[in-house]
A and B are shown apart, each in its own frame.
Chain A
Amino acid sequence: MFTKFFYTCKAKGLHITLSEWLTFIEALDQGLAGSSLTQFYYLARMILVKSETDFDKFDLAFDECFKAVRSENEVTSEMLRWLDKSDMLELAHEDARKWLNEGEDLQIDKEDVEEKFKDRLKDQDTEHNGGSYWIGTMGKTSFGNLGGNVGGVRVGGKTGYQSAFAVVGARKYRDFRDDRMLDNRQFQLAFRRLRQFSARLDVPKTELDIAQTVDKTCNNGGYLQIVMEKPRKNSVKLLLLFDSGGTMIPFSSLMNELFQAVNKSNHFKDVKCYYFHNCIYSKLYKTPECENGDWVDTEWVFRNLDSDYKVIIVGDAAMAPEELYSDSGNYRGPNGGLSGWEWLTLMKRHYKKIIWLNPKMAPGHAPWREAETAIRQLLPMYKLTVEGLNQGMIRLMTNKN
């Protein structure tokens, strides 16, 4: 029945699995949504959406699917209070029910009921119990609560929620969206993905496995039997290359956060950090100022940092096409006779895991971003947002390409 809603959610970028959807249907079967749209909204959200970063997408999907249901006849909370008369249920015994259903034709026209309901919603200003015209309890009109009419509109009973659409419309979860820019903490968390415990790798067994040793010794009648295991240490080595060109100045505080985060993440086996100006040539600078002489040879880096270093290049890839393709490089420092493109190709050939993070990346290819587009063909490029960073980290850790 709500299958369209399922696909709308998917279209909005929510990853809902079939098992979650079935759970939701089961919950509806159990009547957990009551008969309230708002309750339905929260029920759907708590089962289908597992992160507050996705609430906004869900709100949009919900709005799209159920906009039609949004009606002007919001029932006021005062009216709901008039109707919430659970103690009257006892009064409504068989005879009363019979009386209630007599007279009015049971063949109810839905549209007609809705029409009347809206009319009276507008006019009614007092409480009514047991009548045959207004919205109230114990009555025989087609709407109200605890009434006898079988085919009408049930109003209230158990609610008190904020209106679903008041929530949806406010889009109060917009700030949680994970395609926004990030802060230090989120950086650190992303870097925690870069973990690879060497217990699975090919290293000698150098640590004493106490539990196993004691266990084996017990089984051995108390004669000591030592068990060794491989050390569990992170084996990830990281090479960071920052662009500190002029166009990167607006992002300097972001770069600073990123740098701090790497420094704070002390779980790496080794971190090396160098700077470049717009594109990488034969020298890498030791400081963000990129001063002449204060550098190392890029080839020295290739020789000394072996190919299992994971490389993250951070830059906006905004440069003139000549800076990328010309044999004379750019005005900052020597280029060893190779163009930026060739240096980047060498880089990619040497390091198996390499990504480019771009704080400014726009979707699509624009002609004035020729260099960026070209580099994207060569190196996997991700936008510097929570989601982009995480995708990048996954790329660095998995065996794709």
Chain B
Amino acid sequence: MREAFHSTGQYVASEQLMASVNVAIALEKPLLIKGEPGTGKTMLAQAVAASLGKKLIVWNIKSTTKAQDGLYLYDTIQRLYDGQFGEEGVDDIARYIKLGKLGEAFADDEQVILLIDEIDKADLEFPNDLLWELDQMEFYIHETKRTVKAKHRPIVIITSNAEKELPDAFLRRCIFHYIDFPDEQLMEQIVRVHYPDVEQKLLQEAMDVFYEIRSYRDIRKKPSTSELIDWINALQLGGIPTEQIRKALPFVGVIVKKDEDLETVRQKMA
């Protein structure tokens, strides 16, 4: 492979994840990333961009996002204003066409990384509306009768929180990777990337408590990697002695956010 993706100073990727990224690049298919919240799905795209030295374009999907928004917008209001005041060039529609994120990625002079973040937030039909564009890497602007074609096929990374099932036709075209929750060994590596000089005993104790909380069956929201990292930071800054961690559960609100869960954790730990 010409350029391969590796873990970076800021991001620890499992070997399977690295392989998935590299296969997706080699086969020129979008890479679909699923996984629990806080396992670093969004961070991945940043890490890929950093590792390959390419520009990252992020398209954040909201519940109101339409596929069209990613292609281009025709600013009719601006055109109306300009028309009222007799501005120059009102008859040139192309002036009022603004490319969306996907359009930007296509139009860029270099190959870019396009992150379509949380695709499942949008309406059910959303992914299907993008099939042609992602397959052919081109789209057509009706107003100006122009086709926008990708100069360099962008590397497309799509994340999903599995809020909605994605349509089969869309899935067929993707390379799929499910980010497993990191095991203790990998977790230690991840924490060390963020806080290289964290004390071994503190880290071990915090991780023990963290994995124990995650193992409770009746917990509503399991704490995630990013929350553990925040917690360890809080413990460090607070200068909490290691033996206090399990007993007093300081700053436990950083990893356990629901009242019921807090109750459960305090009971079980006691």
In the complex the two chains form, what is the Cα distance from A193 to B125 in whole Å?
11
Given contacts A161-B16, A215-B76, contact A50 B164 (CB under 8 A): no
Identify the closest chain A residue to B34 (Cβ): A52
* Binary per-residue interface labels of chain A (331-371) against chain B in the complex, 1 for a CB within 8 Å, 0 otherwise: 00000000000000000000000000000000000000000
Q: Which of B22, B77, B178 lies in contact with A214, CB distance below 8 A?
A: B77
A23 to B29, CA, bound (A): 10
Contacting pair B16 A218 (CB below 8 A)? no
Q: Is A326 an interface residue (CB 8 A)?
A: no
Q: What are 30 A-to-B residue pairs whose CB atoms are below 8 Å?
A: A15-B168, A20-B172, A27-B23, A30-B26, A32-B26, A42-B16, A45-B176, A46-B19, A46-B177, A50-B166, A50-B171, A50-B172, A50-B176, A51-B34, A51-B171, A55-B178, A160-B15, A161-B15, A161-B16, A189-B165, A192-B124, A192-B164, A193-B124, A195-B124, A211-B76, A214-B79, A218-B90, A221-B83, A222-B84, A390-B165
Complex Cα distance, B163 from A143, in Å, reads 50
B52 contacts A by Cβ under 8 Å: no
In the complex the two chains form, what is the Cα distance from A42 to B15 in whole Å? Answer: 10
Complex alpha-carbon distance, A32 and B25, angstroms: 11
A51 interface neighbour in B19, B124, B163, B176, Cβ under 8 Å: B176
Q: Does B265 contact A (CB under 8 A)?
A: no
Across the interface, B80 reaches (CB within 8 A) one of A47, A189, A217, namely A217
| Number of residues on chain A facing chain B (CB within 8 A) | 35
Does A107 sit within 8 A of B, measured CB to CB? no
**Chain A 179-194 interface mask (CB, 8 Å, partner B; 1/0):** 0000000000100110
Q: Is the CB of A43 within 8 A of B23?
A: yes
Contact A27 B26 (CB under 8 A): yes
A19: contacting residue among B124, B172, B176, CB under 8 A: B172
Chain A neighbourhood of B76, CB < 8 A = 211, 214-215, 218
A50 to B178, CA, bound (A): 9
Other-chain residue from A39, A195, A222 in contact with B83 (beta carbon distance below 8 A): A222
Tell me the smallest distance from the CB of B260 to a CB of chain A, in Å: 14
Nearest CB of B to A54, in Å? 10
> Does any Cβ of A come within 8 Å of B270's Cβ?
no
**Most chain B beta-carbon contacts within 10 A, residue among A30, A47, A211:** A47
Question: Does A49 reach chain B (CB closer than 8 Å)?
Answer: yes
State the majority secondary structure of interface residues on A: helix
**Once bound together, how far apart are the Cα atoms of A193 and B15, in whole Å?**
36
Alpha-carbon separation in the docked complex, A211 to B79 (Å): 11
Interface check B134, CB cutoff 8 A: no
Residues on A lying within 8 angstroms of B by beta carbon are: 15, 17, 19-20, 23, 26-27, 30, 32, 39, 42-43, 45-47, 49-52, 55, 160-161, 172, 189, 192-193, 195, 211, 214-215, 217-218, 221-222, 390
Chain A residue nearest to B16 in the complex (CB): A42
* Interchain CA distance A39-B22 in the complex, whole Å: 12
Interface positions, chain B 160-206, Cβ under 8 Å from A, are 163-166, 168, 171-172, 174-178, 180
Write out the residue numbers on chain A whose beta carbons fall within 8 Å of the beta carbon of B90: 218
Q: Smallest CB–CB gap between B253 and chain A, Å?
A: 23
Q: Output the nearest chain B residue to A26 by Cβ-Cβ distance.
A: B27
Instruction: Check: B32 CB closer than 8 A to any chain A CB.
Output: yes
Q: A51-B34, A217-B80 are in contact. List 10 more A-B contacts (CB 8 A).
A: A15-B168, A27-B23, A27-B26, A32-B22, A46-B19, A46-B23, A46-B177, A214-B77, A214-B79, A218-B83
A59 to B203, CA, bound (A): 34
Please give the distance in Å from B172's CB to the nearest CB on chain A. 6
CB distance from A179 to the nearest CB of B (A): 15
Q: How far is the CA of A161 from the CA of B84 in the complex (A)?
A: 66
Q: State the 6 A-B residue pairs at the shortest beta-carbon distance, nearest first.
A: A50-B171, A52-B178, A214-B76, A50-B176, A215-B76, A46-B20
Write out, one digit per residue, whether chain B residues 194-222 have a CB within 8 A of any chain A CB (1) or not (0).
00000000000000000000000000000
Complex CA–CA separation, A222 to B171 (angstroms): 46
For A172, list chain B residues within 8 Å (CB): 180
- What A residues does B164 contact at CB under 8 A? 189, 192
Inter-chain contact B34/A46, CB cutoff 8 Å: no
CB–CB B79/A218 < 8 A: yes
Chain B residues closer than 8 Å to A217, beta-carbon distance = 80
Contacts of A215 in B (CB 8 A): 74, 76
How many Å lie between the Cα of A207 and that of B99 in the bound state? 27
Question: Which chain A residues border B34 with CB–CB below 8 Å?
Answer: 51-52
Contact status B16-A17, CB under 8 Å: no
Closest to A186 in B: B162
Q: A30 CA to B84 CA in the complex, in Å?
A: 59
Question: Is there an interface contact between A46 and B175, defined as CB atoms closer than 8 Å?
Answer: yes
A192 to B165, CA, bound (A): 10
Q: Which residues of A contact B166 (CB under 8 A)?
A: 50
Q: A15-B168, A214-B77, A390-B165 are in contact. Are A42 and B178 (CB under 8 A)?
A: no
Known contacts A42-B19, A42-B20, A46-B20; A27/B77 CB under 8 A:
no
B65 to chain A, nearest CB (A): 15
Query: Separation in Å of the A113 CB from the closest CB of chain B?
Result: 29
